[in-house]
């Protein structure tokens, strides 16, 4: 049995890539705390919002090696005080990291990172070659000619 031809298959590629990115994403959290994250597609980019409350922006390190994006950060311990008696302490301190294995078709050399209000926002653009594009259609094997009229006979064209 043959599979039917799907003319929209290539147009769906970025969406399949996002699904593969989300479903096949390997994430690892190390250290004493995790980094909660939202991941979504917006236009021609994927966006990861990583929660890092109480982290000094200077301690945040983002790097990409091959297809692995790593985020590292450090949250320092609150200074010890004699009059402080903890009732609840849910925010962990220490160094922690998270790794994302990114799929094909992303422009890893154009990743942008912004830290604001305790959230690190990573914008990962889709590579130009992975974006849908318009293909011009020719008729009868002739090259498309824009705005030109061709006159004459076959004999004139062959030099006879």
pLDDT at 9: 61
| pLDDT tens digits along 74-122 | 988 877 778 888 888 888 888 989 999 998 889 899 999 999 999 999 9
* Closest alpha carbon to 113 in 42, 64, 153: 64
Whole-prediction pTM:
0.60
Structurally, what CATH architecture does the domain formed by 13-133 represent?
Sandwich (2.60)
Segments making up each domain of the chain, as ranges? 13-133
């Amino acid at each position: 049995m043959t599979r039917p031809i799907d003319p929209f298959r290539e147009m769906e590629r970025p969406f399949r890539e996002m699904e593969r990115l989300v479903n096949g994403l390997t994430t690892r959290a190390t250290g004493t705390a995790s980094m909660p994250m939202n991941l979504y597609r917006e236009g021609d980019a994927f966006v990861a919002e990583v929660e890092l409350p109480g982290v000094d922006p200077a301690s945040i390190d983002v790097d990409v090696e091959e297809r692995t994006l790593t985020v590292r950060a450090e949250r320092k311990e609150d200074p010890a005080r004699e009059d402080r008696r903890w009732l609840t302490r849910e925010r962990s301190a220490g160094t922690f990291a998270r790794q994302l294995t990114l799929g094909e078709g992303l422009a890893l050399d154009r990743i942008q990172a912004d830290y604001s209000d305790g959230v690190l926002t990573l914008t990962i653009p889709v590579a130009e070659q992975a974006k849908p594009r318009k293909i011009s259609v020719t008729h009868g094997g002739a090259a498309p000619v824009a705005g030109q009229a061709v006159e004459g006979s076959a004999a004139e064209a062959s030099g006879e």
